[in-house]
Every structure is written in structure tokens, then in C-alpha cells.
Amino acid sequence: MTTLPTHTEKKLGLVIDLDTCVGCHACVTACKGWNTENYGAPLADTDAYGGDPVGSFLNRVHSFEVQPETGPAQLVHFPKSCLHCDDAPCVTVCPTGASYKRVEDGIVLVNESDCIGCGLCAWACPYGAREMDPSEKVMKKCTLCVDRIYNENLPEIDREPACVRTCPTGARHFGDLADPESAVSQLVAARGGMDLMPEQGTTPVNKYLPPRPKDQPTDILAPLLDVTEEVPGGFLGWLDKTLEKLG
């Protein structure tokens, strides 16, 4: 069996804002694309539009309709992938050492050349975050795009997970959650970031920011709604007058 490190120098992970995720699946598509073309064995995706589709994904988005005690029902989009837990049962159950947690950054990875496809890690993971690739017969999981975040051939702005880079609403954030001064740690502190299923005792690194109640007013758009001029000038003024004449 594999042992976990007693400590890690960093805790790289994701902070996902459930208030701004719109369930567009851009993160799913970006994850599938990057991990099919780069790190490890390609992700299976055969007969996608046929009668027997086969595929594997490292990131999924689930949608739930939630009825709060007060106020209207809310549709919550819930992205889920490997949470890179501090006490990762998928690592300790692995009989070959293929699953391991890195000391330098806390990322949980699979050495595919040592994976025998036994599925014990998927059985041990309480989050369903591992998938057996049906074509390659090896276990696949989120790598936090380890081949992107350290790749000096990429522009610095691109050295973050593909799902984070592509999110159109900025719902996904990446950083070191062991550093209390990091942007992700401050975001968790400010918004009351939560662990997924804390009763499992896995101490996940990834955090979720809860959705705000929709029956409460918000001033997020207030600056965009302020009237800057009673009478528009310049091009907008000309356009306004022209439309009045046409009307």
C-alpha cells in the first residue's frame, strides 16, 4: 500500500464559486481537450453519437434544484473533480503505489505505468472523482494540469489548470491554499469556503464557495447601472437623436 506524506510544501487546489458557476460545461470541454492531447494516456471518447458511447471525463458538472427554507428555489451547478485530499484514501488503498501525493505541491497523481486497473482507488474515493479509462484500462483523474502550471514554454497567464483558464464567469480559482495570504485563501476566508462532505475525514484541499440567497439584493451590477449623464453626448447623443427622428 502507498503511504501519504506527513506534510506538503504547498497545497495547490481549486476554489469553486457556486454562486457564479452557470453550468456551461466549458471547464469540462477544456479539461477533456487538454488531457486528451497532453499528459498521460488519451481520454477515451468513442462512438460519441452512436448507440454505445464510451468515454471518460476528469471533470463533471452536476445541476441540482435546491429549495431553501425561505425564498425561491435555486438551480445550483456543482462542478466536481478530484479534490486532492490531505488524507486521500485513494492513495493509501493503492496496492502498487501508482496513486501518490506529491510532497512539493500536494497534487494527487496516478503513475499510469504502475496502474493495474484494479479499481480500488475509485472504490475508496467518496467523491466518485476517479474514472477507469475504458480504452486504456488505467485509472484517470484530475492532475490540476500539472503539465501546464509548471510549463515555462507557456505564457505565465496560461500556467493554470485548463478549467480555470477557460471559465467564462470566473467561477474557478487556482492557488496555494496552504498560504493564508494567497488570493484563494483570502477568498475562502471572506466567503466562508466549505469542504465537500467533511464527515468523510479526507480533508480535501479544494473548497467550494456557497451560493448567495437569490432573494437578497446585491450591488454587484450597481456600478454598471449608474447614470453618468442626464443627456448622452458624443456618438451616443447623435444615435439617440437619430433614432428619435426615425421614430
Domain extents for the chain? 12-218
Q: 46 falls in which pLDDT band (50, 70, 90)?
A: confident
pLDDT at position 168: 96
Question: 55: pLDDT confidence band, cut at 50, 70 and 90?
Answer: confident
Residues 6+ apart with CB under 8 A from 99: 2, 88, 90, 91, 93, 108, 109, 110, 111, 115, 121, 139
Check residue 219 and give its pLDDT.
Answer: 54
The percentage of residues in the chain with a pLDDT greater than 70, rounded to a whole number, is: 85
The pLDDT, as a whole number, for residue 236 is: 63
Q: What is the pLDDT of residues 212-237, one digit of tens each?
A: 776 655 555 555 555 555 565 666 66
Non-local CB neighbours of 196 within 8 Å, separated by 6+ positions? 80, 83, 127, 204, 206, 208
Global pTM reads: 0.81
The pLDDT confidence band at residue 243, using thresholds 50, 70 and 90, is low
108-133: average pLDDT: 94
CB count in 10 Å sphere of residue 186: 13
pLDDT higher than threshold 80 for residue 104: yes
Report the b/e string of 84-121 with b at 16+ CB within 10 A.
bbbebbbbebbeeebbbbbeebbbbbbebeebeeeebb
**Would you state the CATH architecture of domain 12-218?**
2-Layer Sandwich (3.30)
